Amino acid sequence: MKLYVILLLVCITYAQAWGRGDLEKYGPFQLALQSNLIKCNHDKTLDLDVSGINVYFYDFTKNEVKTFLINDAADGILAIPDLNILRRFIIFVPGYRSNINKSTEQRVRDTFRDFPNSYLIILDHSPYTNDKPSNIKGYERSVQYVYYIGKALADMLTGLKKGGITPKNMHCVGHSLGGQMLGYTGQIFFENTRDKLWRVTALDPAGPCFSKSLIEDQVRAGVAEYVEVYHCNAGGLGTTSVLADIDFFLNKKGQSQPNCGTPLIPGIFDSSKAAKCSHKTCVQVWTATVKHPDWFLAWRCDSYKMFKDGQCSGNEVTLAGFWNPGNATGVYYFSTEGYDLDLDE
């Protein structure tokens, strides 16, 4: 009993020393990933087979979904009768431990269901990124596949370009590991075609194994005409790197998000839950902007403290999210407090 009281006191003391947001970074999984326990392999000579990636192609105006294996997807899509190559192609690449039936994918489908003049494509790369049980080995294996999945998508988009679809209509959006995959996708697409994708949007691109890696192994400015990164759990599951044309930091330092709670007593389970919640908020915020173009003005600012203290309110402003006009660069901050993000999932 006495021991428990002491432990409790130690925990509370730590909680105060670290501050609320900081605790969220120290779940068991995150802790392991940030230590030297994890082996990060970005080897590009392994020639790993990713032909089992499924590509879901949604034409909501016809209420149609078609599924292809990735190596057949470009030809399959181009063979669709009445395909309107002038529409926008929105390509979503999910993160670690996802698949086509998860709530993130459902949210993305719901978001673009009524969006005019567009097709939605979602990749399901779960054969390579969804090991059960989920542990460090599973994450290491997924990281090893990031380059190969990114390349497979680049080759698919290259095929679409050859079929007459302009890269000016290609918008790639990735969450977490998917965000990092798009660094390779944009780079390889450029090497293949000498042309750039219109836009890459990386939603809290994965931190572990990437924050400290070589710049060419990270999503970054230059891999598309315009590259935007949204930070929601920086230093936890998301990257701390500032590398894009524009980097948005959401709410508290782009680290911890409102409604993701910090447990009063830092339970191991709860802190990793809080990190996952913050990590996912980037998807929720970005998808919410599709139907709410006027939400989320962001201010150029050098630090969260200055932003919070109102010292940046006279700086350049831009619209964050789907309607970002794409002419602002640098580090921007915004708050989502007071907006109804429809978080019921």
Q: Which residue has the tokens 């998917």?
A: 178
Stretch that binds ligand NAG, among 20-28, 98-106, 233-241, 247-255 (CB under 6 A): 98-106
CB closer to ligand NAG, 160 vs 224? 224
Contact region with ligand NAG (CB under 6 A), list: 34-42, 97-105, 219-227, 295-303: 97-105
Shortest gap between Cβ of 147 and ligand NAG (angstroms)? 22
Nearest distance from residue 207's CB to ligand NAG, in Å? 25
Decide: 206 and 34 in contact? Cβ < 8 Å.
no
- Spatial contact of 266 and 26, defined as CB atoms under 8 Å apart: yes
Distance CA 253, CA 134 (A): 28
Footprint on residues 7-26 left by ligand NAG (CB under 6 A): none
What's the CA gap between 39 and 232, in Å, rounded? 24
Asked if 100 is part of the footprint of ligand NAG (rule: CB under 6 A), the reply reads yes
Element (H, E) at 180: helix 177-193
Considering beta carbons, is residue 126 or 281 the nearer one to ligand NAG? 126
Cβ–Cβ under 8 Å, residues 186 and 172? yes
Shortest spacing between CB 167 and ligand NAG, in angstroms = 21
Stretch that binds ligand NAG, among 99-107, 111-119, 201-209, 242-250 (CB under 6 A): 99-107
Cis peptide before 133 (omega within 30 of 0): yes
Which residue number, 314 or 325, has a Cβ lying nearer to ligand NAG?
Answer: 325
Of residues 321-340, those binding ligand NAG (CB under 6 A) = 325, 327
171: number of CA atoms within 13 Å, CB side? 16
User: Binding mask 51-90 vs ligand NAG (x if CB under 6 A, - otherwise)?
Assistant: ----------------------------------------
Residues binding ligand NAG: what is the number (CB under 6 A)? 7
d(CA 287, CA 92): 11
Using CA atoms, how far residue 188 sits from 109, 164, 169, in Å, is 27, 18, 17
Stretch of residues binding ligand NAG (CB under 6 A), selected from 27-35, 82-90, 94-102, 285-293:
94-102
* Structure letter (DSSP) for residue 302: S
Q: Which of 142, 24, 11, 149 is nearest to 91 (CA)?
A: 149
Contact 238, 205 (CB under 8 A): yes
Mark the segment that binds ligand NAG (CB under 6 A) among 78-86, 95-103, 158-166, 192-200: 95-103
Site for ligand NAG in 119-158 (CB under 6 A): 124, 126
Residues that bind ligand NAG (CB under 6 A): 99-101, 124, 126, 325, 327
